Structure 1
């Protein structure tokens, strides 16, 4: 069995793309910041050393060539020193100042002589030593700042000192790092947004295809891919469209064939089951009356009793059992017609109040004999849509059921009420409740809650099954409800349009039987 994936996406491609790019960019920026922070200063110092050495070579060559005092050399040398932020002083062998770029030449001169004689060595860090020069990091005692220094002797015997403040280098590194961080973060944010927007355009057709495939999983083939691009995704979308069409046609054909086969199987099974059930139930129900008829008929034949009264009793039993069998067979035939759909439903507009009152009038004598009080307050016509003959059968079964199970105050209450566009007819009788576990089964053929009592009044166990078949043929609801003092059976019919709320005896749906 194929494992179904979760309905919601856990990881979106566009989010992944934006996240990966952002992480890569942030990682690159952090790496650059780390390298700048820890290595840029050293790199600057290294480059500054190279610049000082190049400046030393220029100065030494000019001293050797004798161009040291020319204007052209001064201009080029000043440009070079200005370019690399190098201050210098040049002394002759007698410590006289020949050239300088700083007005504080005395300090530079003293610094050069101190270096020459090895003073303040504890405040110096030697970086490079040549045959005639040294490069070092030295701390100025007055300002407590560090300088990169190069000092030594030219080939012509002149002394020189180059100085460049390291503080400017370190400040440049800090500014570079700060600039890199701020620009990097801003660039990462802007780039992430741009990548996210671009990825949305890239993944939009993928999301569309995902939605189409989701709908195809639920056999919805109406969605089609509508992309117009010429990419691989568009080609995939067209293939999915063709697959969707093919699947829809194939499934439609399979469903049609399967439905037809299923109907044939169900029809055959239903007929077989109904035939078996019918034969079994009829055999069971007819066994008792046939045995009674046979027994009493044999008694009459053999002359068990000679008196007229006994013979009349035997004949009455035989006739009563024959009538019960005849009644049951009629009901079974009616039920069989309904269940097999052979009984045609004739929908007509009729007055349900008149139908019920006619039935009650015909049963008046029987009710008086059994000392039963029948209550029906509805008098004005109430028109409904249904098969009048079938509804009379339904009401008759409900009323006969009430007559046979009445007890207590011996009251049968017939009510009509309306809700929405339906009319509900209910028949309530005082007496014992139906056990709750039996309520779902009372509509089954030959089901009897109290078999001994049903046998006593000649019940067949088919009446409520006929009610079920009729109401299902009419596509209307029916049911039974237990109350503290009895049981109510009800059915609903479609109203023919008259307002029944203000009629005498009409009640709302929530009315209770007292």
Structure 2
């Protein structure tokens, strides 16, 4: 409270008013008396000058038509006056005539028996003398002016100056009371006025504090035409601009983090890719080199051994060729090369075609591929890429089928979504590795994978194709095997003829 602007303004203004009141009282005590006396002296001289002016026009002042004017002047000035002729007879008096007549006699004979102290001359010239005297009986102070007028007449004008002290005391008490009351009233008014201005300032201070905490929802709502209103509008405008700027900075920062993360991911993928490719190529290259050197050095002259060496070289070269092709395909899919050619086609016929192309390999392993769907089911996708998915699923199933030798391919349609699943009997995939099988070069059983020439890229190609189609794929452990699936859009289930 003591640190608020309203409190400080109130204290300052009240202090200024209080000091002004004290200064006025001091000034009144020291200077008002002198001013009052000077005013009285001017007043008594003014009465004398008016008397001179009247007697110049008409020396018979007692019977003059201007006597009423002179009476009014004496009344306003609070003066008493007597005019005597050369014989000492009063020809005009106003106020205490008898007392002034006696006082005139004292002046003539130089007697001050009725005065408390010797009169003090204030001003004296060839026309009049002004002196200060104190009455013995009343103890009142008076200014007396004595001097000559026209036709040899003599004037005495007397004016009381004693009452000014009481008047000053009364005035000081009055102004003190008025001043204190005025200070109290003014303080209340100032508090009200300052609140009118400090409340908006406090509101603006709170807004600025919340802005510093990045809260830009609060706005200055008062509609004012003064400087505070302009400040409020400026803060609202600044708040909007800061919010926009910070939002843009956050977006840029988020994008930067994404770019950095992407770069780190790409770098990591590159390192992992080089490491995996090196690992995958190391074994076939070593085998090819070893058997080729054996052929070169004629280790065996037996034709069967030489044929075996050649078969190994051809088989390993084929695996390398397959891996390179898969890597190129995966690279195109992961980095967005090429486009998805969306078309409507019969998924049933595509599956049947893939099964037919792999029937020789299935017969070699004595595997029965079950596919009972006969009616066409039309889907929207890239037919070539979906054929690649089905081929990889069936190849994976043939490579991992157990002694039961059962592979089942099914199609299910529900709510416009077609799910194609490929099941093979065999060993389940550990649950904690189900999410990892889609990572390139990842192998659950490395020894078995090597036996059939797998390199852990096929399922990565499946995942990349389905991601480009923005569709789901996955793997589920069944009690007696593993099921792989993927989904596609289907507008309708139609029966058609070729």
Superposition TM-score, scaled by structure 2 size: 0.54
Distance in 2 between residues matched to 1:410 and 1:213, nearest whole Å:
74
Aligned Cα RMSD in Å? Answer: 3.5
Counterpart residue number, 2:342 = 347
Distance 2:233 2:292 in 1: 86
Deviation at 1:234, TM superposition (A): 7.9
Residue 86 of structure 1: aligned partner: none
Q: Is the 8 A contact 1:212 1:224 kept in 2?
A: no
259, 267, 270: which one aligns with 1:272: 267
Contact 2:471–2:486 (CA<8 Å) still a contact in 1? yes
Give the one of 296, 300, 306 matched to 1:305.
300
- Conservation of the 8 A alpha-carbon contact between 1:412 and 1:429: yes
Is residue 437–residue 444 contact of structure 2 (8 Å, CA) maintained in 1? Answer: yes
For residue 486 of structure 1, the aligned residue among 463, 474, 481 is 481
Indicate the larger mover: 330-339 or 265-274.
265-274
1:215 & 1:355 partners in 2: Cα distance? 62
Aligned-residue offset at 1:213: 10
Separation of aligned partners in 2, 1:254 and 1:318: 59
The answer as to whether partners of 1:480 and 1:488 remain within 8 angstroms in 2 is: yes
Cα pair distance change 1:408/1:210, threshold 3 Å = farther
C-alpha distance in 1 between matches for 2:414 and 2:317: 44
**Ranges in structure 1 where 5+ consecutive residues have no aligned partner:** 1-202, 504-514
Q: Distance in 2 between matches of 1:432 and 1:266?
A: 37
Per the alignment, residue 493 of structure 2 pairs with: 499
Q: Distance in 1 between matches of 2:355 and 2:240?
A: 63
In structure 2, the residue matched to 1:426 is 421
Report whether the alignment pairs 1:372 with 2:367. Answer: yes
> Could you tell me which residue of structure 2 aligns to residue 105 of structure 1?
none
Contact 1:212 1:225 in 2 (8 A): no
> Is the radius of gyration larger for structure 1 or structure 2?
2
Whole-Å separation in 2 of the counterparts to 1:372 and 1:429: 10
User: Which residue of the other structure, out of 333, 343, 356, is the alignment partner of 1:361?
Assistant: 356
Q: Give the secondary-structure state (helix, strand or coil) at the position aligned to 2:411.
A: strand
Match of 1:392 in 2: 387
**Mapped partners of 2:383, 2:335: distance in 1:** 20
1:295 to 290, 293, 297: 290
Structure 1 position 410, deviation (Å): 1.4
Q: 5+ unaligned residues in a row in structure 2: which ranges?
A: 1-198
* Cα distance change of structure 1 residues 232 and 437 upon mapping to structure 2, 3 Å threshold: farther
Rate the CA distance shift 1:425–1:250 in 2: closer, same or farther, 3 A: same
State TM-score, norm by structure 1.
0.52
1:438 counterpart = 2:433: yes
Give the corresponding residue for 1:97: none
Q: In structure 2, how many angstroms separate the alpha carbons of the residues matched to 1:482 and 1:237? A: 66
Q: Which residue of 2 aligns with 1:182?
A: none
Is 1:415 paired with 2:410?
yes
Partner of residue 332, structure 2: 337
Sort the Cα spacing of 1:289 and 1:422 in 2 relative to 1 into closer, same or farther, 3 A: same
SS in 1 for 2:493: coil
Structure 1 runs of 4+ with >4 Å offset: 209-221, 223-240
Structure 1 residues 243 and 293: alpha-carbon distance in aligned structure 2, compared to 1, 3 A threshold: same
Report deviation, 1:228.
Answer: 4.5
Q: Which residue is equivalent to 2:241?
A: 246
Distance 1:386 1:275 in 2: 30
Deviation at 1:493, TM superposition (A): 1.1
